[in-house]
Structure 1
Amino acid sequence: MKPALPFLFFIFLISISINGQEFEVSGSVKDQNGDALVFANVLLKNQDSVLVKGTTTDEEGRYTLVNVKAGTYLISASYLDTSSDIRPLEVASDMSLTDLIILQTETQLDEVEVTYKKPTIEQLADRLIFNVENTSLSQGNIWDILKQTPGVIIVNDKINIKGSSNIGVMINGRLVNIPQADIVNLLSGSSGDNVESVEVILNPPAKYSAEGGLLLDIKMKKNLIAGYNGSIYNRYTQAVFPKHMIGTDHFFKGKKTDFSLSYSFRKSKDLRRFTDITNFFDSGTINEVWTTEQRTITRSNQHNVSGFFDYQINDKNSLSFSTINSFTTPANRFIDSETLIEDTSGDVQSSFLTANDSEFDALNSAYYLDWSHKFDKKGESISVATNYTFYQYNRGQDLDTDFFDSDGITTGDNDFTTQSSQKTSIYSAQVDYTNPIKKLSILEAGLRYSGINSQSAISQEGFDRTQPGISPTEEGIFDYDEQIMAGYASLNNSWENWQLNMGLRSEYTETIGDLDTANDPIKNSYLELFPSLSARHEFKNKHNLALRYYRRITRPRYSDLNPFQFFQSNNTVVEGNPNLRPAIRNYVSLEYGIGKDYSLEVYYFEDSNDFFEQVVQDNESNLLRFLSVNLESNITYGAEFRFNKSWTRFWDTYLLLTCYNKQNSFRDIDSGAILSNGLWTGNVRFNNYFTLLKDRSMYADLLYRYSSPMVLGNSRRASTSQLIISLSKTFWQRKAALSFSFDDVFNDGNFFYTRNYLNQDNSTFSRRETRLFYIGFRYRFGNNRIRDNKKRKSTDEGDRI
């Protein structure tokens, strides 16, 4: 920490001394005939495609954007369902731009309302942006949108990008610090209508924490023009069991304030089935075959509440407060399983039945407070961001097992109970400084501190101690503390045909894991540097070339570090590992593209100390153990081809073809031998978006996904495919929308895993409710339109009219 942070802090202090001013950008929006377009939206975004300024044109089609900081931007205009080209813009003085041209083919209307449109895709130097606001996709929840986001593959409720599941999820640039399973619950219970875009950040800038691999940033919309609007919605899902979600959203923008509030309630009953077949060994040969049929039913009620409040104190200072909350009220998970024990001839020797009845509840509450200040120099600013996140999970479990002989006669039982909890508190504060250097470069520097405390506790009783491999902790408390101190500096450059972003981040980490039943705590400290580089060049013939490199870290999840044994059935146990090491990733890629239609990317990345939850069979104790372990190596290289084409005004296509080789090396638990598990994998993603009916009020989306066999640690997963069909129809001058969706039409989206090496021979067939039918209704109210009567009304932000 000592060599790196003072250097970055020195850069930070030197940069603050520079001063400057702000500018105006003006121009006109016209159609192909040179006629002015009245009330066209004009949007100014930064290089990350985040909205900076927005306005509408006057009666002469002119617009003026005031108080624009010096820097590099993207400017575009939209009207009805058409848009101008996105134009790069370098602001260093007051500017009057050439006309933004929008091709128009329809008669202009006296009244223009919020309308739906097809998703669009933007490719920048370091990220891919999937714009979904006011599309048919927004009628679902946020998790549904991620399933359809280009480049994103959902595997067993885990987000995968380019063969990696180490993905950080952010909302409006703020990292969501909760376990993966709770991220699924949070996003599944949050309305997609609030989402403006999803950014797949392929090369995270140095200002972001080095935690995780790639990043997904979910951008939520705000009001652009003063006024109020809101909506109510209802969504019903039918799978094996029904599920239901209702909610409401509210947005208000005043002269100095910008406020939004969202609430949703989801009631669900979920089914998941497993078939585990394990060939247990004795003296190197298979002597027993254990077949388990498991059925899990989960009933839960979940409340999601989020709010965003922005206050413009004056021209130089602004304050914002936001909160994201998820509450799962007392819920129930009931697991019943039947295990048959056969010899190698198929004759039943014995069996047992297990009933696992557990009650659980979860709370995640995050609060963010941000302050920003603009200096006199145009584009120079400083901001302070603070965050507090609290997460709590409680679970009580009654597990009852009855044993039977080959004739079905009861021979014994094993009943026990557990009570477990986890509480995690996260504090963070970050200072960011931005300063334009000359005309073409922007310097960013900052410091960050975060502190984490996680406490896991368990009490359990009633175990049969004579069973081999059973060594549970009757009572225990595990405290985990982590401190991270970081500093960064980056330089973003933009020339006429070039974008060059480079940065360096330094993070010093201290951790202490203390189990009250152990002799000594486990301590660790390390200093790591994380460079990043993104370069993109636009050739005159619309060809482009991009190079990306980054180094990042993935620290173990707090639940992975939990050392306690937790039983799901009499022979299935989940175990954390307090000795897990953080994983370091080095990633490099080269991408070649032609306009917005074609791109080909080759990439390579290597994860050292990558960690997975491995399934290991204990042949001595006849147990299946789910263990969190570090891999010896994880190397992936491959190519990705993307095709994005608008065939007509009514039909758009997106095609993604991926082929990569993944090589995992892992250490066998019994022998200590290092083994390899590698395979070439191919993925296909084929999206089609259709606009139907003369008034363009119906939209249809068709998605097909296919994944060939792949490796995950010591496992191999068989191929899967899914077909998803979605429809959306608007009514009542587009104030109401009715949507339908049919997921996994052919029911081919479930997973089959095998683990076959040395004395390991087992398989798992996981069957979730992937075939789903959705029906949803949404009604909008408030100022959702503008009228051609020379009065400015409220519209939502983004390209919507």
Structure 2
Amino acid sequence: MTVQAQMNLVKSRFLFIIIFVSLSHCVKGQENSISGTIVTEDGPGLGYVNILLEQGDSAVAGAMSDSSGYFHVSVPNGTYTLTAKTWGYDALSQQVDAQNNLNLGKLTMSIAADITQVEITARKPLVVREIDRLRVKVPNTILADGDAWEMLRLAPGIMVTQKGDIRMQGKAGIRVMIDGRDINISGQDLMDMLSGMSAQEVESIEIISNPPASFSASGAGVVNIIMKKASQEGLRGNVRSRFERGVYGRSSNGLSLTYKHKKLYLNGSYDLSFGKRFSNEISDMRFCNSQNDCSFWNEDSKQNSQYLKHGFHFYGDYRPGPKSRISFRTDGNLTPLNSTGSDGLTKVTGSAGLLDSSIVNENKAASLGNYQSFFLGYKQEMDKGSWNLQADYTRFFKGLSQDIFSQFVHPSGQILGRSDFRFDSDQNVDILGSQFDLSYPVSNLGAFDAGLKLSLIQTANNLDHFLLENGVSTRDETRSNQFKYDEQNAAAYLSWRKGWEQFEFKLGLRSEYTQLKGESKTGGQSLDTQYLRWFPTLHLQFFPSEKNIWGLTYGTRINRPSYRYLNAFRMYSSPYSYIEGNPFLQPAIIRNLELSLVRSNQYFFTAFASHTQNPITQMSIQDNEESTIRYFAVNQDIDFRAGISASGSIDFFSWWSAYWDLSAYYQRYQFKAPVTGEDILNSGIAFDPFIWTGFYPGKLDGLSIEFQFTYYAPRYQGSFRVDSRSEFALGLKKKFFKDRISASFFLADIFDDNKFTLRSKYSTQDHVYREDPENQYFRIGLTWNFGNRKVKNKKEQKSNTEEKQRL
């Protein structure tokens, strides 16, 4: 059966089920809808709570709250006893009179008196495992005192690189969001922005491996950063300062203010970061030409960078009525200074091991960036369901000027020649989006969610390449270019969820239509294409008892090429090395499947599999005839992985807790070797253990001591073999004056083992890249809190412009 025929069959069966259930409902008596949201005492929704409606000793109907705490059940006219139960909380019971459709609003459940901790965690960091996500709570941990990028680097379940790449369960193409909104940038630009944001403003990190249909289908997974939000009236805030030093010193200082009064909520923060960083990069390359003459190149480059960043955000929330809300938010990051000086020495030896020549490289780069996004949203709750309308605009600019000086030297010291050049580049990206969402329960059919989304993207790139000779610059027309790219995305989704006493399902279907055009004016290359894709999702939960929750999820995702990968520019970092885009990249299709078990809300087990067709990756391709290295974005054939993960916590004593997380998986990459075209298979087993432990000496009130260990076993990453690495970190924190002041100390990568080594050895390719970033450092921090300081976690609005992650 063809794929299209299978799709048509699925659609017809799905339609038949809906019609059958609807007709069954029509012949029943009059029934009323009872809905509500189960919440904790701190405010967040409480998922997977058993809801039972009884008359006397007879159970009439049951349901299960979803991950946000919402539930819905239909019953005939009458008076009932509603009971809500879940492990770790006192049962909630109340009388309801169902003469009409009834929305009970928020129902609060209290932690049971004999349960000291019902979340998967030792106290700190508070790690909460849910059916569809892992939530890491940041406050009062060693994660909270650094910047947001360091926070992601240290968090369990996430792997990051120094180039700004993020991976989850080994999968690339992870989308990053703040309060449900894409933050528009990726790679190095993403790292630059998050490193200018204080982690003290973050409430939690949500790691979502298989998002539902309401999320954009873009990206293999989602990391959602949830910001803090105050629940108490009045003014509160903090002033913070931190200093850290590795090879060089750097500092960050910030201010946050929050005001809440009746219907109005305002929050703003500003951070100023500046300092210097160091990195050492070493490359070994073996070039063998068609005559089998081989040369060996060893390049050692030391980079010193200096930066100045301004990070800020402002959020406003006004409630004109008890069921309506108007929200506004802007986030920004300004980088007026980001300069890097690199001194490199390349030694070229022949087959006999004798030095043939040397290349002395000097690279000076200066860049500036400007990122800002604006969001406006309106949400209206109805007697049954709710709807919201959102719009946002994002603008991103980055300018770069780079001078490259290369001198060729004979072993005797004689200067053989020079190659000097400069390039100036700039990138402008504008993204405009809007989205409408509707959530509506339909009697005993369950609840339906639907939405529409539209986004428009425009990007313009310019590159001017100049040859430098005797102090005179001449524009090189063959290496200069202009590239324009426009993209339009239209999406619609529909999801259906229904729950019973021991079973709940959520079925979703999302459709996305994409039209894109690109033109390279100098190179003469153009791109004009359009496509329609369907993305089904399925979430099932089974609750055989209060202590066991089984889950099954399936989802199809898409990873569209980033705009920088589509840009056909050729940017040189030396006479023998350059990066080149590929305007003919195809989107990658990802299919994820997970089976999970939650045991007593304390232990979590998952079996997962992921298959990616046409995975997008950047390969390093060596030309053995010309002795050059080209970094080129390509579609490989297959990226497949399957494995298991387990996590849990233990309290050894009241003052000693621990959390552990272990993932092990098989990975398989298939691709064509450059130049020869032969089939290459990279496969193996990888595992990632994470261990955290915290000590809270009772005699030293307000003191916490935390240790954290992460290990990444050797693995494959597309065409690269990645060596193992690990990090051991230590953090201490002490609070004074009734928690008004807190002081912290943090020591990262104590054994200096968090270094990156990538090996590309197959077919005609033979090179190794090593990077030793400044991951070993110490940090001291001081924070003064003032005003009304009680905080609760409250989810914010969801963005409609989720393609922005592909910048």
Q: What TM-score comes out, normalization by structure 2 length?
A: 0.84
The SS at the match of 2:538 is: strand
* One-letter code aligned to 2:175: G
The match for 1:658 among 656, 663, 677 is 663
Structure 1 residue 440: Cα displacement = 8.2
* One-letter code aligned to 1:232: V
The SS at the match of 1:350 is: strand
Deviations 1:691-731 (A, max 9, x none): 22435401122111111111111110111111011111101
Larger displacement relative to structure 2 (588-597 or 522-531): 588-597
Structure 1 residue 738: Cα displacement = 0.6
Residue matched to 2:155: 149
- Structure-2 separation of matches of 1:184 and 1:399: 24
Residue matched to 2:768: 763
- Shift of the 577–400 alpha-carbon distance from structure 1 to 2, 3 Å rule, reads same
* One-letter code aligned to 1:612: T
The match for 2:558 among 526, 529, 553 is 553
Residue matched to 1:639: 644
Report whether the alignment pairs 1:244 with 2:251.
yes
The SS at the match of 1:184 is: helix
Structure 1 residue 137: Cα displacement = 2.8
- Structure-2 separation of matches of 1:184 and 1:22: 46
- Shift of the 515–462 alpha-carbon distance from structure 1 to 2, 3 Å rule, reads same
Q: 1:340 touches 1:352 (CA, 8 Å); kept in 2?
A: yes
- Shift of the 105–613 alpha-carbon distance from structure 1 to 2, 3 Å rule, reads closer
Structure 1 residue 209: Cα displacement = 0.8
The match for 1:715 among 701, 713, 720 is 720
Deviations 1:397-444 (A, max 9, x none): 111111111212101111111111111111110000011233683211
The SS at the match of 1:298 is: strand
Report whether the alignment pairs 1:703 with 2:698.
no
Q: Following superposition of structure 1 onto structure 2, how do residues 370-519 of structure 1 map, counting pairs within 5 Å?
A: 370-375=377-382, 377-378=383-384, 380-438=385-443, 441-462=446-467, 473-519=478-524
- Shift of the 511–697 alpha-carbon distance from structure 1 to 2, 3 Å rule, reads same
Report whether the alignment pairs 1:181 with 2:188.
yes
- Structure-1 separation of matches of 2:667 and 2:565: 23
- Structure-2 separation of matches of 1:214 and 1:728: 33
Q: 2:668 touches 2:683 (CA, 8 Å); kept in 1?
A: yes
- Shift of the 22–493 alpha-carbon distance from structure 1 to 2, 3 Å rule, reads closer
Residue matched to 1:577: 582
Q: 1:117 touches 1:134 (CA, 8 Å); kept in 2?
A: no
The match for 1:215 among 203, 219, 222 is 222
Q: Following superposition of structure 1 onto structure 2, how do residues 284-433 of structure 1 map, counting pairs within 5 Å?
A: 285=292, 287-375=294-382, 377-378=383-384, 380-433=385-438
Q: 1:72 touches 1:440 (CA, 8 Å); kept in 2?
A: no
- Please report the RMSD computed on the Cα atoms of aligned residues, expressed in angstroms: 3.3
The match for 1:679 among 684, 689, 692 is 684
Identity of aligned residues (%): 26
Q: 2:405 touches 2:420 (CA, 8 Å); kept in 1?
A: yes
* One-letter code aligned to 1:388: Y
Residue matched to 1:788: none
Structure 1 residue 577: Cα displacement = 1.1
**How many pairs does the alignment contain?**
727
The SS at the match of 1:186 is: helix
Deviations 1:571-597 (A, max 9, x none): 111111111111110010112232122
- Structure-2 separation of matches of 1:459 and 1:98: 62
Structure 1 residue 93: Cα displacement = 5.2
- Shift of the 694–441 alpha-carbon distance from structure 1 to 2, 3 Å rule, reads farther
Residue matched to 1:613: 618
- Shift of the 576–69 alpha-carbon distance from structure 1 to 2, 3 Å rule, reads closer
Residue matched to 2:89: 85
The match for 1:228 among 227, 230, 235 is 235
Deviations 1:122-148 (A, max 9, x none): 222211222223444322222232233
The SS at the match of 1:193 is: helix
Report whether the alignment pairs 1:71 with 2:71.
yes
The match for 2:696 among 678, 691, 696 is 691
Q: Which runs of 5+ in 2 are unaligned?
A: 1-6, 23-30, 50-67, 74-82, 97-101, 117-121, 470-475, 795-807
Larger displacement relative to structure 2 (312-321 or 764-773): 312-321
Structure 1 residue 677: Cα displacement = 1.5
- Structure-1 separation of matches of 2:758 and 2:781: 34
Larger displacement relative to structure 2 (439-448 or 483-492): 439-448
* One-letter code aligned to 2:316: F
Q: 2:611 touches 2:640 (CA, 8 Å); kept in 1?
A: yes
- Structure-1 separation of matches of 2:376 and 2:168: 31
Residue matched to 1:725: 730
- Structure-1 separation of matches of 2:93 and 2:637: 47
Q: 2:38 touches 2:45 (CA, 8 Å); kept in 1?
A: no
Residue matched to 1:100: 110
Q: 2:229 touches 2:792 (CA, 8 Å); kept in 1?
A: yes
- Structure-2 separation of matches of 1:330 and 1:769: 19
* One-letter code aligned to 1:456: N
- Structure-1 separation of matches of 2:42 and 2:409: 73
Q: 1:715 touches 1:753 (CA, 8 Å); kept in 2?
A: yes
Q: What TM-score comes out, normalization by structure 1 length?
A: 0.85
Residue matched to 1:122: 128
- Shift of the 337–757 alpha-carbon distance from structure 1 to 2, 3 Å rule, reads same
Structure 1 residue 70: Cα displacement = 6.6
The match for 1:626 among 618, 624, 631 is 631
Q: 2:615 touches 2:639 (CA, 8 Å); kept in 1?
A: yes
Residue matched to 1:35: none
Q: Which runs of 5+ in 1 are unaligned?
A: 28-39, 50-67, 78-82, 107-115, 465-470, 785-794
Structure 1 residue 42: Cα displacement = 4.5
* One-letter code aligned to 2:199: G
Q: 1:292 touches 1:339 (CA, 8 Å); kept in 2?
A: yes
Residue matched to 2:792: 797
- Shift of the 24–688 alpha-carbon distance from structure 1 to 2, 3 Å rule, reads same
Larger displacement relative to structure 2 (195-204 or 548-557): 195-204
* One-letter code aligned to 2:416: T
Q: 1:513 touches 1:521 (CA, 8 Å); kept in 2?
A: yes
- Shift of the 41–637 alpha-carbon distance from structure 1 to 2, 3 Å rule, reads closer
Structure 1 residue 753: Cα displacement = 1.4
Structure 1 residue 519: Cα displacement = 3.9
Residue matched to 1:525: 530
Q: 1:342 touches 1:348 (CA, 8 Å); kept in 2?
A: yes
- Structure-1 separation of matches of 2:69 and 2:138: 27
Residue matched to 1:270: 277
- Structure-2 separation of matches of 1:182 and 1:517: 26
Q: 2:721 touches 2:759 (CA, 8 Å); kept in 1?
A: yes
Q: 2:168 touches 2:209 (CA, 8 Å); kept in 1?
A: no
Q: Following superposition of structure 1 onto structure 2, how do residues 28-43 of structure 1 map, counting pairs within 5 Å?
A: 41-43=41-43
Residue matched to 2:802: none
- Structure-2 separation of matches of 1:236 and 1:421: 32
The SS at the match of 2:545 is: coil
- Structure-1 separation of matches of 2:132 and 2:719: 32
- Structure-2 separation of matches of 1:303 and 1:184: 14
- Structure-2 separation of matches of 1:104 and 1:71: 27
The SS at the match of 1:313 is: strand
- Structure-2 separation of matches of 1:624 and 1:254: 60
- Structure-1 separation of matches of 2:140 and 2:751: 29
* One-letter code aligned to 2:144: S
* One-letter code aligned to 2:671: F
- Shift of the 76–441 alpha-carbon distance from structure 1 to 2, 3 Å rule, reads closer
- Structure-1 separation of matches of 2:91 and 2:676: 61
Q: 2:42 touches 2:792 (CA, 8 Å); kept in 1?
A: no
